[in-house]
Structure 1
Amino acid sequence: MFDYNRRKSLKTLACCSAIFAMPNISFGKTNAKDIEKWDEVFDAIVVGSGFAGSAAMLSLLDNGVKNCIMIDKMQYLGGNSAYSGGSMAVAGTPIQERDGIKDDPESQIKDTLKSGHNLNDLELVKEMIYKGPQTFKWLVDNGVNFKWVSRSGGHSVPRSHSAGAGSYITRPLQRKILEKGGKIATRVIMDEIIYDENGAVVGIKVREKYEFNFEHGFEEKNNKSGKIKFYRCYGGLVLATGGWGADVNFRQKFDPALRADVLSTNHLGATAYTAEKLISDDIKFIDMQYIQRMHVTSADEPFFGFAYRWITRGYAYGIMVNPKTGLRFVNEIVDRKVGSDAIWAMNEGGKNHPILIMDMDGTKTVDVKDFQRGLSVGAIKKFDTMDELVEFYKINKEPFLEQLKRYNSYVDEASKNKDFRDPEFNRNFSDYKGKYIKVEKPPFFASRPGPKVHHCMGGVKTTIDGEVYNNDLKIVPNLYACGELTGGRHGFNRLGSNAVLDCLVYGQKAGEKLAKVYNAKRGV
């Protein structure tokens, strides 16, 4: 089913490119013999409190490691995870069965490798996807309430399961952590990893009462706030500190086009502070040149914003056009990389944003609260007639109306033949609860998509259990990593909602592996 030889050759080329792209940072490690005393002692420490960190922490507790702590440098928990869309791609769930959606893991694997240009680590991809239904059930058992399933760009069927927002996943997990006696601390930043004479991780240097500087452009390495402490960890350390999409200087080392004027969905704490420490400690990084821009965000609001839910459904049930030509310019349901590149190619440096349009029936597919948030901030606009919409956005009217007629005819054809693909962009169409939705019923709604830096596909190279490799491809004892800090799962481009799955599956696995190794050492 997959072209393994092509995947191998492309992966080799990509790894070579990544080596040349790595920043020049001098190596230097902190040794345990230099630590006079330990201020705190734990069995395990988790750094980061998003999807991956919360899953790892709860997994530790579930597997008998009780004296553990999860720390976060920010004043709040969850990082990007908490305020992300929080949709998780899973193939084969009760919600899909309820909605009559036929899906299987092999289909999701195929979609994932296609989007990743076969540069993904196949073993990691298969583990991630086959563990999906089990992880879905684990979340439900721990209080997460998934409400609906939708189709994200690049997926062949609807499989993106949403609880409403990312915090609707992180908060239930964190409640369970506290119920089970786990410790959680904010405003604690990790400065250094501490190793013994054999290269095994034995603790970390931190600063408590850390004050993150929210000034745009401020470099975290210049922030000296907080009180230095040393934490011992007998079982191991799990790193789940996320990506570096908000770190302009670091991301430009790998993609110079991602200048400061290119907005990001990430919270300001998404810096490369931990990544740079790991690079200096000789930890292996891969695929760093692949940084994703996401095209389901609005050009009319900063950061992640509120319109993304409507825009996501707009791609599935609406039409997107270049206002200058009045014509479609890309298959609306392509993956994030193709969609973002197409928008950037036509928007003239941000002067000519595309217009995404849905009618009333299409908009009804969006949760009313999510829709109202986007409408309230002006990122989604309402028009009683199509003429009003055309005039407001200065859309080239006659070509647009002809384009709209053709688009609606394609939806009609799809309602008769599920295998139909539109002749202009080879798009297929999905029904919503048995109905195929055209753009014809007033009022009409529109938004201006604007791609923003969103996800870092590259990161720490790990085993299938989250164990970390150094640059000699040897496993670093007692060190684990998961989530966006790691690389290999997504290759060239990540499919929407695969990241939540990645974080939760591999967060769980990292916690399980640490617990298994540590429990064996202490005879538990």
Structure 2
Amino acid sequence: MKKLIALALALLMVLGLAACGSPKPQAEQAGIQDGTYTGEGTGKGGTIKVEVTIKDSAVTDIKVLENKETQGFDKAMETLTQSIIEKNSTEVDTVAGCTLTSKGFLEAVNAALASAGATPELLKKVNATTADAAEKKDVEETHDIVVIGAGGAGFSAAIEAKMAGADVIILEKLPVPGGNTLISGAEYAAPANWLQEKENIKDNPEQMAEDMLKGGDNKNDPELVKVVANGALDGAKWLRDVVGVEWENELMFFGGHSVKRSLIPKGASGQEIIVKQQAKAKELGIKVLCNTPATELITDENGKVVGVKAEGPDANYTFKTNKAVILTTGGFGSNIEMRKKYNPEIDENILSTNSVGSTGDGIVMAEKVGAELVGMEYIQTYPICDPLTGTLLYFDDARLYGHTVIVNKEGKRFVEELGRRDVMSMAIKAQTDHCCYEIVDQNGYEQSKLEENHAAEIKYLYDNKLLVKGDTIEEVADFFKIDSTEFKKTIENYNKYVDAGKDPEFNKRSMPSKVEKAPFYVIKAVPAVHHTMGGVKINTNAQVINKDGKVIEGLYAAGEVTGGIHGTNRLGSNALADITVFGRIAGCNASK
């Protein structure tokens, strides 16, 4: 009997030890159970919720149930879905230009797998398909016009050319159209506009041209400046009446302008411009090829541009043109080596607000066929950007409504809040820790529609301790270790200046309200590269000029890829006027 009891105890101990071990989950033993599973991640716009369908340990479908990503950027999730299903793996590359959206989407998919009691490694391994291994095919097409770059300038050019009767195709190297326009605030300087009339603001194209020349230290080409200033209002109306862009019923006052003249797109975001331009392009039947970077301009024996070579995911393309190529590829703010080549001070230590696509490709291609480059050393920084990523902060809209005060670590003002971007940026870089702190009160916060237009950004700033909200000046100062005594004194003095209607310290040109109503909001910010003023030389017809001062036949350019329009420094909200005016000119003239 004792032996039987001992044997029974031993057996129980063995079973107990087995129970105390770490058994493999069911999914690991027999694959992932078929079914649909949900998961969540955090993208640029907030929560991304997905539903993942699993069959035979393979992802067969992914549905996005919830997201607040910017229209355009949400296309990245379609690209990732295709890659995950094809490879049956979440180990896929993020989509260029959509890093935060990509990471949030992949986080959600992996969370869905986790809810199935699985890990990404348990997905059934698949071999590379024949299509993956196959060589790309060679494709040759002929169009009247090839537009290189699907940003605001590219769409403006393509739409005008198509409406003039030309056969047009747009090439875009990124998976998502939009370029810098999509990620900008897209405010638009337009002299003598309809809102200025309502507010009885006196303005005209000549005054805008004077502001542009002064802002660019008179290094601008006066004739190009005149074209932008004279065409800006018509361009804004064209976007409204032809493209369908909605403008808000108020204006912004950008630094360096002599009057308040900048229109605001619906939602204070370039999304309004690009979404409406894409819709118009689709309506007109304009084909847009994404993931298809242009690599070379094709010229004939006389130097005329007669086509483009490009690389797609599945094909090497040769696009021949009956009429012209239009370059709208943007600047080179995200190309560190190119920045250092032309301005060694703008090195890898300075972050950038630009799209990852802003690498100067069009400038390089144009130079290879003889284009003259101008103003390449002029690189602008934007003063109020994310200290972690360099992203432009739309919280700064409050400054452009005139509602904020900017101080340093010592709690003192050191620059006019509505000054030129380059002046403000250099002033901020000279302060303690090379950063600044921008404060707005509750009145300014509400009037600037920060929560309404930029809720996702505000959450991000709170999460990363770059924004604080407090009931007193001392409370917000202490959060960032700002000298609270000086900060309080600075705000008191500023409020007196508002009462007096004059700023004796920095001559701030617009002070519509005091900073006095709690709670108070303060962000920490740094400058980052925002615009490259240099690029290919063009004439008033948007034709590219060569090193001998002659027109390169068959080649037009518009937008940030060009140089000479903004001189040493671009005034805020002039870019949208520039890309629209010269985009339209390029499209019209190229189609003739």
Normalised to the residue count of structure 1, the TM-score between the two structures is 0.82
Q: Find the residue that maps to 2:293 and give its secondary structure.
A: strand
Identify which of 416, 430, 437 aligns with 1:331. 416
Shift >6 Å, 4+ stretches = none
Q: Find the residue that maps to 1:339 and give its secondary structure.
A: helix
Identify which of 546, 560, 565 aligns with 1:489. 565
Corresponding residue number in structure 1 for 2:544? 468
Is 1:41 the counterpart of 2:142? The answer is yes
Corresponding residue number in structure 2 for 1:321? 407
Is 1:162 the counterpart of 2:264? The answer is yes
Corresponding residue number in structure 2 for 1:455? 531
Counterparts of residues 10-409 of structure 1 (less than 5 Å): 39-65=140-166, 67-141=167-241, 142-147=243-248, 148-163=250-265, 164-209=268-313, 227-313=315-401, 316-324=402-410, 326-347=411-432, 351=433, 353-367=435-449, 368-378=451-461, 379-409=466-496
Unaligned runs of 5+ residues in structure 1 are 1-36, 210-225, 415-419, 431-435, 517-524
Q: Find the residue that maps to 1:495 and give its secondary structure.
A: coil
The residue type paired with residue 109 of structure 1 is A
Distance 1:437 1:205, change over 3 A: same
What is the CA-CA distance between 1:449 and the residue it aligns to?
A: 2.2
* In 2, Cα distance between equivalents of 1:429 and 1:208: 50
CA contact (8 A) 2:385 2:527 kept: yes
The residue type paired with residue 436 of structure 2 is P
Unaligned runs of 5+ residues in structure 2 are 1-137
Distance 1:370 1:261, change over 3 A: farther
The residue type paired with residue 270 of structure 2 is G
Q: Find the residue that maps to 2:332 and give its secondary structure.
A: coil
Tell which structure's C-alpha radius of gyration is larger. Answer: 2
Alignment RMSD (CA, Å): 1.7
Normalised to the residue count of structure 2, the TM-score between the two structures is 0.73
* In 1, Cα distance between equivalents of 2:440 and 2:228: 34
What is the CA-CA distance between 1:305 and the residue it aligns to?
A: 4.7
The residue type paired with residue 423 of structure 2 is V
* In 1, Cα distance between equivalents of 2:189 and 2:177: 23
* In 2, Cα distance between equivalents of 1:333 and 1:262: 22
* In 2, Cα distance between equivalents of 1:285 and 1:127: 20
Q: Find the residue that maps to 1:442 and give its secondary structure.
A: coil
- Count how many residue pairs are aligned between Structure 1 and Structure 2: 446
- Deviation string 1:92-139 (CA, Å, 9 cap, x unpaired) is 111222344332222211211111001111111111011111111100
Q: Which has the higher contact order (CA 8 A, sep 6+)?
A: 1
Q: Find the residue that maps to 1:253 and give its secondary structure.
A: helix
* In 2, Cα distance between equivalents of 1:502 and 1:472: 25
Counterparts of residues 410-425 of structure 1 (less than 5 Å): 410-414=497-501, 420=502, 422-425=503-506
The residue type paired with residue 224 of structure 2 is L
- Deviation string 1:375-421 (CA, Å, 9 cap, x unpaired) is 2112432112212012112222333322222211111111xxxxx4x
* In 2, Cα distance between equivalents of 1:200 and 1:160: 39
Give the share of equivalent positions with the same residue, in percent.
Answer: 36
What is the CA-CA distance between 1:474 and the residue it aligns to?
A: 1.0
* In 1, Cα distance between equivalents of 2:292 and 2:509: 48
What is the CA-CA distance between 1:301 and the residue it aligns to?
A: 4.7
The structure that is strand-richer by fraction is 2
* In 1, Cα distance between equivalents of 2:295 and 2:388: 37
